[in-house]
Structure 1
Amino acid sequence: MSDRTVRAPLSPLAAAWTLALLLGLQPLTTDLVLPALPAMGSDLQAPVAPVQLTMSALILAFGLAQLVWGPVADRFGRRPVLLAGLGLYTLASAGAALGGDITQVIGWRIVQGAALSVPVVCARAMLRDLYQPHEGALVMARALSGLGVIAIASPLSGGLLVAASGWRATLVAMGVIGLLLWALIAWRLPETLRSRDPAATRLGPLLAQAGRILGHPTFRAWSLLVACTYAGLFVFLAGSGFILIRVLGLAPLQAGLVMCTTSLAYITGTFFCRRWLPRHGLVGTVLRGSGFSIASALGMAVLASTDHRAVWAVMLPTWLYALGHGVHQPCGQAGAVGPFPRSAGLAAALAGCVLALAAFGIGLWLGHALDGTLRPLAIGIGSGAAGAVLVVWTLVRRHGDPARVAV
C-alpha cells in the first residue's frame, strides 16, 4: 500500500481532531468522576483508600493492557482494534455504573482501564504512521489542545451530573460517549497502518523488539519525562476531589469549576509548545517548558511547609504545573515513538506502561497519605515537577533527538 494512499484521507487538521477525541477519552475517564469520588465513598460506605483505588486500579490496568493492545494493533491494524476496545469500554462503563459495592466498581474500572488503553495506544501509533517526529509533535500539540477542551468540560460536567443525578451518572455518561466514539470510528476513520507486521504478536520477536525499544536512550529519555509529568498530574486528578471538597469545603459543582481552570492552563501550555517547536525543536521546547515546572516545584514546597488553606494557594502552583505539562506531554509522546516507525504500537504501549506504573504507585501512596491537610497533594505534585525538570536537563538534553537510528 502506498504512503499516499494511507495519508490522503486524513489532513493534519482532521488527524488532530481524531487524535483529540481518542486521547480525550483518557481525561474524560479520570476527570469526569473526580467530583463524584466523595459521594461514591459515602453512598457505598467505603473509606478513602478503596475509593482512591477506583482511580489507581484503572490506571494500572490502562498501562499493562497497552502491552497487549500495542502489538495487536501492529499485527491487525489500528481500526479493528479500536472498534473492539471501544466496545469493551462501553460495556465496562455500564458495569461500573451498576456496581453494588466498591469492590464491584473497582473491578469494572479495571476492565474500563484495560479498554481505555486501546484508543490511547492506537492514537499514539497513528501519529507515527502518518508523520515524522517533529511534524507529529506539532499535530500532537494541536490534538492535546483539543484534549484540553475535553478536560475542561469533564470535571464541570461531572459536578453537574453528581448534583443532578448522583455519582453513577458520571459512569453512565462515559458509556454513552464511548458508544458515540465507536460509531464515529466505524463511520469515518480509515486504516493508517501501511503494512501489518505478522510477527508483531509472536513472543520471540515481540520480546526482542521490546528489548531494543527499552534499551534505546531516546525512548528512555522521553518516556521517563512523560511518566514524571503525568505522575504529578495524577496526584491532582486523584486527590483534588477530596482536597477541594473535604479540606477546603467546596461544593461538588464549585470543585468542578476550579478543576476546569487547570485544563485552561494546560491548553495554554500546548500553545507555548506549538509556538516553540518550529524554532527550537523537541529538546529546546521542553528545556523552555521546564521553567514552568521549576516554578511549580518551588510553589508546592511553600504550600507543603505552610499548609495554607486557600483555593488560590493550591491552584497557583498547580496552574504552573499544568503549563509545563502542556509543553512536556506532546513532545514526550511524539519523541518516545519517533525512532520506531515499524513498531510504533509497541513503542507507544511501552511508554504508556511506564507512565501508568508511575501513576499507580503515586495513587497507592496518595490513598494512604491523604490526612486532611494540603501536604500530600503539594508533595506529590512538587515531586512530579522536580522529576520532570531532572529528566529534561539530563536524559532528554543528552539523548532526546528522535532522529537517532530508527529501530
Structure 2
Amino acid sequence: MGLFGLGQPIACHDRSDSMLKPDTLALTAVLALLTALGPLSTDMYLPSLPDIALGLQATTGQTQMTLSAFLIGFAAGQFFYGPVSDRVGRKPVLLLGLGLFTVASLVCALAPNIEILIAARFLQALGASGPIVLGRAIVRDFYEGPRAGKELSRMGSIMGVVPAVAPVLGGLIAQAYEWRATFVVMLACGVALAAVVLLRLPESIRTKSSDPISFAAILRGFGTLLRHPGYRTYVSFSMLAYGGLFAFISGSSFVLQGVYRLDELAYAFSFAFMVVGYIGGTVLAQHLVGRYGLDGTIRFGVASLAAGGALMFVLVASGVPSSFAITGPMAIYAMGVGLTMPQAMASALMPFPERAGAASSLLGICQMTFAAILGIVLGQNLGGSALPLPTAIAGTGIAALIAFAGTGRARGKPA
C-alpha cells in the first residue's frame, strides 16, 4: 500500500529517517495534537471562568467574551494561514502560528484586567488557528477520499482525549494554584509542539501554488471555493455541528456550575460525558466510512445531532433537576459531531487538492465565525435559567438534519 493508502506513493520533501512518515500512528498523533491546540486553549480554563470573573472584577458577559474573542481570532487567523501555506509551504507557516500562540499565552498569564485578557485571547487564537488549518491541509496532502475521512476520524479519536483531560487538569490547577497557571501550561504545550514540528515534521506540500499572496487574491480564491455547491454544503454541516458543540463549551460552566451548583471538579468530570460521546463518534466513523462512505456516515451523524439536541431541550424544559439532563443528551450530540465533522471536512477538501490550504482556511472561518456569533448570543441570554443552552444545541442539531435532507443534489446523490 502506498503512502496515500491507495497504492500511490507520494514524495515527501524531507526524506530523513528521523522525519515522521504518512500512514504511521506517530504522524497521526502529532497532527491530532496540533489540531487539539485550540480545544486545549478553551477547555482547560473553563472551570476557572467564575474565578476569572471574580479575580478581574468582570461580569459574566465580559468573561464570556474571552471565549468569543478566541473564536473570532480563530476565524480571522484562518483567513491567511491556508492560502499562504499553499504558496510557501506548510511547515514555516505552522511554526509562525505556534510562535504567536506561545507569546500570547504568556500575555494571558500576566493579564492585569479583563480587557487585556480578551485582547490576548484574540492573539492566542490567531496563533492557534494555524495548526488546525494546516493539520487538515496536511491530511489532504497525504490522503484522498474515504482514507482522508478515516485519518481525520483517527485524529479526532486522539484529539478527543484533550477535552477529557483538559477540564480536569484545569480544575485541579484552579484549586491548587490560580487561573493564571492554566495559561502557563498552554505556553509549555506550544513550545513542545513547535519543537516537534521543527525537528520531526516533513514538508507535505507537493506542488506550491503560483497564486500571488494578497488580500484580493485570497478573496478570489475563496470565491471560487464558494461557487462549488458541494463545498458549501459540507461546510454547512461542519458549521452546524461545531456550533452546537461550542454552545456547550461556552455555556456549560455557567449552567452546570451556576444553575446546577456543581463545583470545579464535578463540572470537569461532567464535561467528560461530552468527550466520551465525541470519541465514540470518531471511533464509530472509522468503521462506518468504509462501509457507507462519507455521506452515509454523515447521515448517521446529523441524526445523532438532532436527537441529542432535541432530547436535551425536552428534559430541561420539563424541569428535570439533575445535571444529567444536560450532560446525557450532550453525549449523544457529541457522538454526532464525531460522526459528522471529519467526514464533512474530508468531503469539502476533496475536490481541491491544489488549494487544500485555502479550502481548509475558508472552512475554518465559516465554522468559527458561526460558533462565535452563537456563543455571543448565548452569553447575552444566560442567566438563572438553563434553557438557552439546550435551545441553541437543539437548533443546530435539527438544522443539520434538515440541511442534509435537502441537499442531495448538491452532494451529487439522493438524500
Q: TM-score range by the shorter chain?
A: over 0.9
Alignment of 1:259-338 (within 5 A): 259-338=271-350
Who is 1:80 aligned against? 92
TM-aligned CA deviation for residue 401 of structure 1: 5.7
Who is 1:135 aligned against? 147
TM-aligned CA deviation for residue 210 of structure 1: 1.5
Contact 2:10–2:142 (Cα < 8 Å) also in 1 = no
TM-aligned CA deviation for residue 261 of structure 1: 2.1
TM-aligned CA deviation for residue 200 of structure 1: 4.6
2:115 pairs with one of 99, 103, 108: 103
Contact 2:297–2:339 (Cα < 8 Å) also in 1 = yes
Distance in 2 separating the partners of 1:377 and 1:203? 37
Q: Greater share of helix residues, 1 or 2? A: 1
Contact 2:313–2:387 (Cα < 8 Å) also in 1 = no
**1:156-182 Cα distance to aligned partner (Å, 9 max, x none):** 111111111111111111111011111
**1:123-142 Cα distance to aligned partner (Å, 9 max, x none):** 11111111112210001100
TM-score of the aligned structures, taking structure 2 as reference length: 0.93
TM-aligned CA deviation for residue 312 of structure 1: 1.1
- Alpha-carbon spacing, 1:208–1:277, altered in 2? closer, same or farther (3 Å): same
- Alpha-carbon spacing, 1:200–1:372, altered in 2? closer, same or farther (3 Å): farther
Who is 1:238 aligned against? 250
TM-aligned CA deviation for residue 211 of structure 1: 1.1
Distance in 1 separating the partners of 2:43 and 2:313? 25
Give the secondary structure class of the aligned counterpart of 2:265.
helix
- Alpha-carbon spacing, 1:40–1:321, altered in 2? closer, same or farther (3 Å): same
Distance in 2 separating the partners of 1:301 and 1:146? 30
TM-aligned CA deviation for residue 344 of structure 1: 0.5
Contact 2:278–2:337 (Cα < 8 Å) also in 1 = yes
Equivalenced residue count is 400
Who is 1:157 aligned against? 169
Percent sequence identity over aligned pairs: 35
Who is 1:11 aligned against? 22
TM-aligned CA deviation for residue 399 of structure 1: 2.6
TM-aligned CA deviation for residue 392 of structure 1: 2.0
TM-aligned CA deviation for residue 205 of structure 1: 4.1
Distance in 2 separating the partners of 1:153 and 1:89? 20
Amino acid at match of 1:141: S
Who is 1:35 aligned against? 47
Alignment of 1:109-120 (within 5 A): 109-120=121-132
Amino acid at match of 1:391: A
TM-score of the aligned structures, taking structure 1 as reference length: 0.95
1:179 pairs with one of 188, 191, 204: 191
Contact 1:72–1:200 (Cα < 8 Å) also in 2 = no
Amino acid at match of 1:47: T
Distance in 1 separating the partners of 2:49 and 2:90? 33
Who is 2:159 aligned against? 147
Distance in 2 separating the partners of 1:251 and 1:206? 46
> Where does structure 1 lack aligned partners over 5 or more consecutive residues?
403-407
TM-aligned CA deviation for residue 110 of structure 1: 0.4
Who is 1:219 aligned against? 231
Who is 1:375 aligned against? 387
